[in-house]
Amino acid sequence: MTEQTLRQWLLTDTPTSRRHAKLSAIYQGWLSFRGNTMAMIGLWILIALVAIAAFAPFISPHDPFVQDLGNRLGPLGTEGHILGTDSLGRDILSRLIYGSRITLYIVALVALIAPIAGLLVGTVSGYVGGWLDAVLMRITDIFLAFPRLVLALAFVAALGAGIENAVLAISLTAWPPYARIARAETLTIRSSDFISAIQLQGAGPMRIIIRHIWPLCISSLIVRVTLDMAGIILAAAGLGFLGLGAQPPSPEWGAMISEGRRFILDHWWVAAMPGLAIFTVSLAFNLLGDGLRDVLDPKAGE
Amino acid sequence: MLEIGKLNVWFGSGIDRVDAVKGASFAVPKGESFGLVGESGSGKSTILRAITGLAPHWSGRITVDGTELGKSRPKAFYNTVQMVFQDPYASLHPRHSVDQVLGETLHLHGFKDIDARVVKLLDDVGLGQKFRFRYPHQLSGGQRQRVAIARALAPEPQLLLLDEPTSALDVSVQAEILNLLVDLRRDRGLTYLMVSHDLSVVGHMCERLAVMKDGAIVEVMAVDTLRRNAAEHPYSQSLLQASL
């Protein structure tokens, strides 16, 4: 099959099988996503981030943990250290490259735990209603009433310091807003005719929630998650700064900023470079989130 | 086929309580097409929702095919009674293709030969195979309503509740859908309970009709009476005058 006919096959108005229809829908989603330049920029930055994380040992010029006290706080463009060196003489570029792994790890774990927990609680609460709704939403309120970092601190103090526990603590504090969004969406969806129609086919609540409500909630949650990523990275950094997240030699971006904080006036690049990295990745997530919303919203582009 | 006795339906409680239907009684024999007419808010659609179990609070007696209905509907009920909703833009899941909509319905009713049945249903409602994998936003209003009718026919029901099935469509498409419904009823021996505010639609589709006002049935008459302009109740007469 030549490329031209493959394209026609994907864009056909009259798909011949379920698989064909699905592939066609994905391809058309991709086409509309590709038309969004900003979203593509975000996607490319994140692909680059994944590639950098995967190939960190091959592309980093130095070992991120080797100290060179004779060459500490080297400015940008120092020979062999393009982004300078930090207070212990470690190469900042190498640390940023290795730090991308930690960032991705945090982002992936939080993005898996928090929205899924929130989706589950929110849709069940919104669809079932009654006392279950009241109980679940009061629990959500209790979580929302605490300042996020303080609650995360309490969790980490109970679970023990370390990046995994920091991620877990952040997830535990991050799910309530997702639950609220999912519940609000569910409340508008549950009274619509297409839910009544499937109820009239004898579908049970589990099937309705999973197959009919989730697909409509997920797009707004994905957008919210991508917008929250910056905050999640910073919360992880904040925990690291307090000695409860990533532990010192680890090249976590947030921890690097808090290290560089001491020299921010005289040696700005020590804090600015990891800050720039966080900024770039957060921006990429936001751009991607916007693009995804355009693709995932069924009413858009009509 | 369907008997309604002293049906009351209300929403809310205490001072917020709104009585949508008050003491409605009528019966639809097997194979008949029965119309419910009245202005907006007169409780016509609420009666349909009470029959299907979608209205939360009701009292009175609803008997379908000889079985009196309780507060919850057994699964077999949905094999007998199905409903077509008013707005085809709201009654189809925006993310499900026609194939998914019909396939899931057939699966829920325990049919095994789903592929063959989907093909047949689409033919029956006058949509070809090329619509099978389309999504609702790729369909026109009339096509969507045909899909909704196909979904209602999937479990092979005997009683079809039609909630103003054409009021959201433009005039030329309305006629097509009404003719489709007439044909389907003739071919399958269906019983229709049709809600409409359009007397000409009811005159075209139904044999008898009930006129509703403020949640109560004011008059039940044959369509011939309507045609002869011989309605007895003053409200029916004024409704008739307004539609001429």
As for the ipTM of the complex, it is 0.85
Q: Distance between CA A245 and CA B86 in Å, rounded?
A: 56
CB-CB neighbors (< 8 A) of B109 in chain A: 201-202
Tens digit of pLDDT at every position of chain B (244 positions): 888 888 888 888 888 888 888 888 999 999 899 999 888 888 888 899 899 888 878 888 899 888 888 888 888 888 889 999 988 888 998 888 898 899 999 999 888 888 899 999 999 898 888 888 888 888 888 899 999 999 999 999 999 999 988 888 888 888 889 999 999 999 988 999 999 888 888 888 899 999 888 888 888 888 888 888 777 888 888 888 877 6
Sheet (strand B159-163) strand order: B81-84, B159-163, B191-196, B33-38, B208-213, B216-222
- For residue B108, the tally of other CB atoms under 10 A from its CB is 19
Radius of gyration (Cα) for chain A, nearest Å?
23
pLDDT for the residue A2: 55
B163 to chain A: closest CA residue: A193
pLDDT for the residue A4: 60
Q: For B130, which of A14, A215, A302 is closest by C-beta distance?
A: A14
- Cα distances (angstroms) measured from residue A296 to each of A216, A289, B95: 9, 10, 10
> pLDDT-derived band of residue A262, with 50, 70 and 90 as boundaries?
confident
Q: Distance between CA B47 and CA B20 in Å, rounded?
A: 9
Q: Distance between CA B237 and CA B136 in Å, rounded?
A: 41
Contact check, Cβ <8 Å, B99/A215? no
Q: Are A76 and A93 in contact (CB under 8 A)?
A: no
Length, in residues, of chain A: 302
Q: Model confidence over B198-219: pLDDT tens digits?
A: 888 888 889 999 988 888 888 8
Nearest-5° Cα angle at B52, B51 to B58: 50
pLDDT at A87 over 90: no
A204 to chain B: closest CA residue: B108
What is the amino acid identity at position A142?
I
Q: Distance between CA A168 and CA A298 in Å, rounded?
A: 33
C-alpha distance from A215 to closest chain B C-alpha (Å): 7
Contact check, Cβ <8 Å, A193/B90? yes
DSSP B72: S
Picking from A145, A215, A221, the residue whose alpha carbon sits closest to that of residue A180 is: A221
**What's the rounded mean pLDDT across residues A160-165?**
81
A203 to chain B: closest CA residue: B108
Q: What is the DSSP string of chain A?
A: --HHHHHHHHH-SS-SSHHHHHHHHHHHHHHHHHT-HHHHHHHHHHHHHHHHHHTHHHH-SS-TT---GGGTT--TTBTTBTT-B-TT--BHHHHHHHHHHHHHHHHHHHHHHHHHHHHHHHHHHHHH-HHHHHHHHHHHHHHHHS-HHHHHHHHHHHH-SSHHHHHHHHHHHHHHHHHHHHHHHHHHHHTSHHHHHHHTTT--HHHIIIIIIHHHHHHHHHHHHHHHHHHHHHHHHHHHHTTSSS-TTS--HHHHHHHHGGGTTT-THHHHHHHHHHHHHHHHHHHHHHHHHHHH-TTTT-
Based on the number of CB atoms within 10 Å of its own CB, is B98 exposed (0-12), middle (13-18) or buried (19 or more)? buried
Tokens at residue B35, please? Answer: 């119309």
Based on the number of CB atoms within 10 Å of its own CB, is B18 exposed (0-12), middle (13-18) or buried (19 or more)? exposed
Q: Distance between CA A177 and CA A16 in Å, rounded?
A: 42
* Burial track A198-213 (b if 16+ CB lie within 10 A, e otherwise): bbbbbbeeeebbebbb
Q: What is the CATH number of the domain that holds B56?
A: 3.40.50.300
Q: Distance between CA A271 and CA A283 in Å, rounded?
A: 18
CB-CB neighbors (< 8 A) of A15 in chain B: 132-133
A296 to chain B: closest CA residue: B95
- Cα distances (angstroms) measured from residue B213 to each of B16, B20, B91: 21, 10, 27
Q: What is the DSSP string of A47-58?
A: HHHHHHHHTHHH
pLDDT for the residue A227: 75
Nearest-5° Cα angle at B100, A191 to B156: 80
Q: For B54, which of A21, A196, A201 is closest by C-beta distance?
A: A196
C-alpha distance from B92 to closest chain A C-alpha (Å): 5
DSSP B232: -
Q: Distance between CA A146 and CA A132 in Å, rounded?
A: 22
Instruction: Tally the domains of chain B.
Output: 1
> pLDDT-derived band of residue A300, with 50, 70 and 90 as boundaries?
very low
C-alpha distance from B242 to closest chain A C-alpha (Å): 30
CB-CB neighbors (< 8 A) of B130 in chain A: 13-14
Q: Distance between CA B64 and CA B105 in Å, rounded?
A: 21
pLDDT for the residue A302: 38
Mutate to test the interface with B, among A190, A200, A208 (most CBs of B within 10 A): A200
Contact check, Cβ <8 Å, A211/B104? yes
Q: Distance between CA A274 and CA B158 in Å, rounded?
A: 69
Domains of chain A with CATH codes: 30-63+80-296 (1.10.3720.10)
- The parent domain of residue B80 ranges over 2-243
Contact check, Cβ <8 Å, B148/A25? no
B224 CB contacts (<8 Å, ≥6 apart)? none
B92 to chain A: closest CA residue: A194
- Cα distances (angstroms) measured from residue B124 to each of A263, B174, B184: 77, 18, 8
C-alpha distance from B165 to closest chain A C-alpha (Å): 13
Radius of gyration (Cα) for chain B, nearest Å?
18
Q: For B83, which of A18, A200, A302 is closest by C-beta distance?
A: A200
> pLDDT-derived band of residue A295, with 50, 70 and 90 as boundaries?
confident
Q: For A298, which of B105, B137, B151 is closest by C-beta distance?
A: B137
> pLDDT-derived band of residue A279, with 50, 70 and 90 as boundaries?
confident
Nearest-5° Cα angle at A301, A111 to B130: 105
Q: Give me the sign of the Cα torsion angle B95, B98, B102, B107.
A: negative
Tokens at residue A68, please? Answer: 């060179």
User: Chain B residues contacting A, CB < 8 Å?
Assistant: 52-54, 75, 78, 82-83, 85-87, 90-95, 97, 99, 104-105, 108-109, 129-130, 132-135, 137-138, 148, 151, 154-155
Q: For B93, which of A13, A199, A212 is closest by C-beta distance?
A: A212
Strands B191-196, B33-38: parallel, antiparallel or unpaired by DSSP? parallel
B100 to chain A: closest CA residue: A18
> pLDDT-derived band of residue A186, with 50, 70 and 90 as boundaries?
very high
> pLDDT-derived band of residue A297, with 50, 70 and 90 as boundaries?
low
CB-CB neighbors (< 8 A) of B108 in chain A: 201-203
Contact check, Cβ <8 Å, B82/A200? yes
The pTM (predicted TM-score) of the whole model is 0.80
A178 CB contacts (<8 Å, ≥6 apart)? A114, A115, A117, A118, A119, A122, A221, A224, A225
Q: Are B132 and B151 in contact (CB under 8 A)?
A: no
Q: Distance between CA A167 and CA B94 in Å, rounded?
A: 35
